Amino acid sequence: MNKENKDFILTKHVHDNGWNLFETYCDDGYSGANLDRPALQRMLQDVRDGHINTILVKDLSGLGRNYLDMGHLAEEFLPEHHRKLISFAEIVDDMVDLRNIINERLSEMHPKSWTIIPTEEGHFLT
């Protein structure tokens, strides 16, 4: 889906719910592999400053592709600031445990590699 269509869908959802759109953040040309992106950092600062109540994304990959960073963002950073994350594709709301979605995605990506394997130290890889 192109950027214009995503923006239209998300903006329509904002207006349909009677919300105010603070800003649209876009990091075109930057990798979602880490959080070191100008627009994302600006958005996180706006969360800290109390300008944003809810982050609305089409899907979580648009926010970030690193599972550890996404887990920290969704399960620690946003709750600490009493903010909400909604993702259309995953239908993520803060009432849904993000870990379940991440585990489901990981198992879809690598179904054969996610097995229980005993290691020399007695730990298991799941």
Spell out the per-residue pLDDT of the chain, length 126, in tens: 677 878 888 888 888 889 899 999 988 888 888 889 999 999 999 999 999 999 988 888 888 888 889 889 989 999 999 999 988 776 555 545 666 666 666 666 655 554 545 545 454 444
CATH number for the domain spanning 28: value is 3.40.50.1390
- Give me the residue label for tokens 């993520």: 92
Whether 102 is in a domain gets the answer no
Distance of CA 5 to the CA centre of its chain: 19
Supply the range of the domain harboring residue 35.
Answer: 3-97
The SS3 assignment for 33 reads: coil
Whether 107 is in a domain gets the answer no
Closest C-alpha to 14, from 71, 75, 84, 63? 84
Whether 111 is in a domain gets the answer no
Whether 106 is in a domain gets the answer no
* Number of CB atoms found within 10 A of residue 23's CB: 11
